[in-house]
Amino acid sequence: MSCEIKRFAVIDVGTNAVKILAADVAQGVLTPVHEGSVQTRLGTGLYFGRRLRADAIRSTADAVSAFSKEAARLGVIRVRCIATSAARDAENGAELVDAIKAQSGLDTEVITGEQEAELAFDGVMTDPNLTGHSVLVIDVGGGSTEIILGDEDGLACRRSVKLGTVRLSESFKTTDPPGVEALARCLVDVRKFVDAEVMPVFQSTISGFLSTNPVLVGASGTSTVLARMFLSSETYDRAVLERVRLTREWLDGACRSMWSLSLEQRRKIPGLPPNRADIIPFGVVILRAVLGAFDTRELLVSTRGLRFAVVKEMAILTP
């Protein structure tokens, strides 16, 4: 019996980058056919002035327009544009929405942090290897971090907080190289934030899930970049990356190494895209702080998340 294949695309407008996922869906199985990313740093300067910069809005709208044209060339039947932390936090977020509409004709859905958390979890759970497991997902973005606990039956608890790689890099001033003393201060600050803003939300549910030995999953660009660094790999291979487990000890070593190196030295690290070398030290600190707060020894890397969930939604809702 033949099975109809439908092709969808989602354009994800984040604080650090604009990303696209185009995927075929047949009988509930999602198969990526194209993925891309353009760093536009939409959130640059946002956390002091509360406004998106005009140049960042223009470059972001241009990136969405280019991805929209790519989706059309790929023959997708529906495209959704989703915007997250920077767009929802900015006083002038409407300017971004208008610019994207003018450039590409797409309507932009600015989602809440809670919606972002739910989508991140649903996307991670498309991995069949996680079936039957309790899962604690951490999605470190440029402007926010989402932490979600649940299993294949659904969410048990979720939290979205204003803590991300771009936001932290702008608020925590360092020298170049930052140095291990600055690392120690940053780790203390982030751990205090996680203990105050995240852990109280999970207190009533985490004890029951801990007895099931939940899998801690990193579902962000930060996690996949660290996996590529772990492998010293310049390529992006989903099957390979999703087998990587980053131990707490490895993350500790990565923290010390990256905070001891200058920006120019970090740009030469195998597997680390040079344009992320300025923010990756802060991403690894956030991951390390969460592992410590939940007393977890290792992090399973996932290349899935929000974009997978949105494609899945589109397939369900499209006749």
Going along the chain from its start, the domains and CATH numbers come out as: 6-113 (3.30.420.40), 128-303 (3.30.420.150)
Average pLDDT over residues 109-129: 96
The proportion of the chain whose per-residue pLDDT surpasses 90, expressed as a percent, equals 85
Which tokens is 59 given? 């470059």
Q: Is the pLDDT of residue 25 over 70?
A: yes
Check pLDDT > 60 for residue 1: no
User: What's the whole-number mean pLDDT along residues 51-68?
Assistant: 98
Q: Convert the pLDDT of each residue in 245-287 to its tens digit.
A: 999 999 999 999 999 999 999 999 999 999 999 999 999 999 9
pLDDT in tens, 85-109: 999 999 999 999 999 999 999 999 9
CA pair distance 205, 157, nearest whole angstrom: 7
Contacts with 8 (C-beta within 8 Å, 6 or more apart), sequence order:
22, 23, 25, 76, 77, 78, 79, 80, 311, 314, 315, 318
Query: Across all residues in the chain, what is the average pLDDT?
Result: 94
pLDDT band at 211 (very low <50, low <70, confident <90, very high): low
pLDDT band at 229 (very low <50, low <70, confident <90, very high): very high
pTM score: 0.95
State whether residue 188 is helix, strand or coil.
helix
**What is the percent of the chain where pLDDT is above 70?**
98
